[in-house]
Amino acid sequence: MNKVLRSFSLLVSSILTLSVFGQINYGGEPFDWSQKNLDEFSIHFNTMPIVDMDLARAQDEVTDAYKETPYRFGIEHDVDVDVISQSSEQRQQSQTIYRFGIHCPEAISVSLLFSTFNIPKGDQVFIYNAERSEFLGSFNHKNQNSADGLAVGTLKSDRIIIEYIQNGAELADIQISQVIHGYRAILNKWEDPERGPFGNSGACNINVICPEGDQWQVEKKSVALIVSGGNAQCTGALVNNTAQDGTPYFLTANHCLGNPNNWVFYFNHEATSCGGNSGPSNQSVSGAVVRANNGGSDFALLELNDTPPAGFDVQYVGWDRSDLENVTSAVGIHHPSGDVKKICFENDSPYHDSFFGTQVWWIDEWEDGVTEGGSSGSPLFNQNHQVIGQLFGGQAACQGSSNNGQYDYYGRFGVSWNGSSAATRLRDWLDPLGTSPQAIDGWPIGAESFNLDGLVSPGNGDVGTICGDSFEPIVNIVNQGANILTSATITFVLNGDEQSAEWTGSLEQYQSEAFSLGTVILINGTNNLEVSLSNPNGNEDENDTNNMYTVEINAVAGQAVVYEFNLTLDDYGTETTWSFTNDEGLVLYEGGPYQDDLDGTLVSEDICLGDGCYTFTILDDYDDGICCNYGDGSYELLDNLGDEVTSGGEFETSESADFCVGSGNSLAEQEVIEFNVYPNPNNGTFSIEWAQGIEVQRAEIMDGTGRIVKSLALQNEFGRKEVNANELAKGIYFIRLLGENYSANQRIIVR
């Protein structure tokens, strides 16, 4: 059995490309990179144990046959290495360079998992092979995440060097917990030219670049191979959301889950020709967090730690949550056995079924192509190029160069949409606008083109709060169809009152025009506006998935005061966010993050506030405020008379100020009780403590929009409740304790 891995390698000529297309990094190169002689650096190499290759081959002969088992290409060595303490030092003017080496005897490739990766601002980390022909990095404080660790890609060599360049007074904390000895590759003694860098699939599989896949060249850009340690773990895909904002949500299978923060996601790993067997492996993202998962439909929705950069040219695919058995054909795009990207076709109708209690789409037999181990979690598309599920398992495989005629089954997207909480369903994450569409297309490229396809979107941007009771809604009319769009009916419903207007013009495909709906009168508080388009060119729209949107407009229709908020940025604007919330925890205004390297740039906002009490909060994601180590950032809030309400800039994680406008008595006339939340900030695990004897009925955790994201029953609790809400994304939340005649609110920060 000749299952061999082609190493994850970059030629010397591709080093310039790496800085643009490699694992997300922040530029630069190792110290004195042109110097190829390592001897003068006196680097200490920590040698890993010898790998028993006979045992590894025997294990692989068993596990390679199972679809639910990851495809292993490397042996994982658990270590506990403090890089700084074991490094050699070289002082160079104001810099200190630390180098530490790792040797995996007879390895084809080596990769790492950092359990701790805390890098001071201004410092850099590079990882390169001993031949100094390729490197990864730089990595810096921006690569840090809430889990503290970092998984890095593979380098072709049996010896690698970690180089840390210290530029300031503070020293980094870098700990290695795992070293992966890559043993299956084209250069080892089981050489086989049919192998891909991470694995190989059967001969009946079809490269996605082949003519059969011509209609799927957009969707393929969403699909990525998941590598965990020494395993080609699974497959998954980036999925679109109703805000179409590029949030890197990634759909895969629940049974694939381990620790996604230690995963590396490889995009665009595909052959460049129909008969090819190898492709690029230099576009990767490290780490993710689980947003939601459920075994009932075997789904897991992750959010990648970093958004794939523009150079990766990824697609966020659309989806259909209707769960109707009207699917006429289906397509799967996947990485079987960790191989380059493949495609398979079901020309009949998949149908609903249940597999040991999991709700699935059942594929009786693929007409072309199959799936294998490593394909798990890959997307299943309907005939409209929309995701309807992700691969759970099955018996489909190659039998020589032919399909074995067996079945596969996929967890159903429509079942995954709903659940008992945000942590067990998709809708909270993929429908942030709350528009509840049955289906949406992909982004930024639409999945299918129609002759008549009108699209409407908000033309006023993020409306937020309106100061006053009049408003002019603007709608963007976009021609998504091939035919010239000359007319359409625009219907809008404001707080239950329906009106319509006729638009005429001339729009070529993908052209747009702003169209005013006239001046409308708002009520004080929240206004609901629903806008829809119909009758393009006097006919039925061929694509009704993009014909409507809804927005909420907060109006201060009575007495209002306009405050002036001024923010001066420091060097690291990407770390700065701020918000104004009312006494119910609803975010009225917010801003950031901003760009880096804009020290001294002034951001000014008018803040319109009515009678009531409010909280201003500013956060720094790196816990060092906005002044004064990395620029002279500051903020101030001035009232309508120009008097200062609050100001600052020197803080750590956050700073806040409470203030009132007018009478300042906007709370309901209830008894207010005091309670504590600790620790605060926290990582989603915390305690709530209140005075014993007070009968608290329940607690509600609300996000910045005022939406309840978690509810807790407290009737049988006596003064204290331990809360585990690890599913919460980082940000500001509000906890409300409720009793029969009282309520209490408190702000918390989840890091």
Among all residues, which ones are annotated catalytic? Answer: 255, 298, 376
Contact 657, 636 (CB under 8 A): no
Contact 495, 528 (CB under 8 A): yes
24 three-state secondary structure: coil
Q: What is the Cα–Cα distance from 481 to 536, expressed in whole angstroms?
A: 10
Q: What is the Cα–Cα distance from 661 to 646, expressed in whole angstroms?
A: 14
Q: What is the Cα–Cα distance from 557 to 560, expressed in whole angstroms?
A: 8
Tell me how crowded residue 64 is: count the other CB atoms within 10 A of its CB: 18
Q: Residue 51 contacts by C-beta under 8 Å, 6 or more apart in sequence?
A: 75, 104, 105, 106, 107, 181, 183
Cα distances from 295 to residues 86, 228, 238, 321, 404, in angstroms, run: 44, 21, 20, 17, 28
Both tokens assigned to 98: 């630390």
DSSP 225-292: EEEETTEEEEEEEEB--TT-S---EEEEEGGG-S-GGGEEEEES---SSTT--------EEE-EEEEE
Asked if the bond preceding 350 is cis, omega within 30° of 0, the reply is no
Q: For residue 416, what is the enclosing H or E element?
A: helix 413-416
Q: Strands 548-556, 465-467: parallel, antiparallel or unpaired by DSSP? A: parallel
Rg (CA), the chain: 28
Residue 256, CB-side half-sphere exposure with 13 Å CA sphere = 39
Contact 746, 735 (CB under 8 A): yes
Q: Which of 336, 63, 69 is nearest to 199 (CA)?
A: 336
| DSSP 8-state code for residue 35 | -
Q: What is the Cα–Cα distance from 120 to 222, expressed in whole angstroms?
A: 33
Contact 688, 699 (CB under 8 A): yes
Q: Residue 476 contacts by C-beta under 8 Å, 6 or more apart in sequence?
A: 456, 457, 458, 459, 512, 513, 514, 515
Q: What is the Cα–Cα distance from 685 to 223, expressed in whole angstroms?
A: 33
Q: What is the Cα–Cα distance from 732 to 577, expressed in whole angstroms?
A: 10
Phi, psi for residue 307 in degrees, rounded to 5: -75, 130
Q: Which of 569, 564, 568 is nearest to 580 (CA)?
A: 564
Both tokens assigned to 253: 């299978």
Contact 261, 147 (CB under 8 A): yes
Q: Strands 342-346, 634-638: parallel, antiparallel or unpaired by DSSP? A: unpaired
Q: What is the Cα–Cα distance from 609 to 639, expressed in whole angstroms?
A: 10
Both tokens assigned to 600: 């001294």
177 three-state secondary structure: strand
Q: Residue 225 contacts by C-beta under 8 Å, 6 or more apart in sequence?
A: 198, 232, 235, 265, 266, 269, 335, 338, 341, 374
Q: Strands 173-182, 135-139: parallel, antiparallel or unpaired by DSSP? A: unpaired
Q: Residue 251 contacts by C-beta under 8 Å, 6 or more apart in sequence?
A: 236, 237, 238, 239, 299, 300, 301, 302, 377, 379, 387, 390
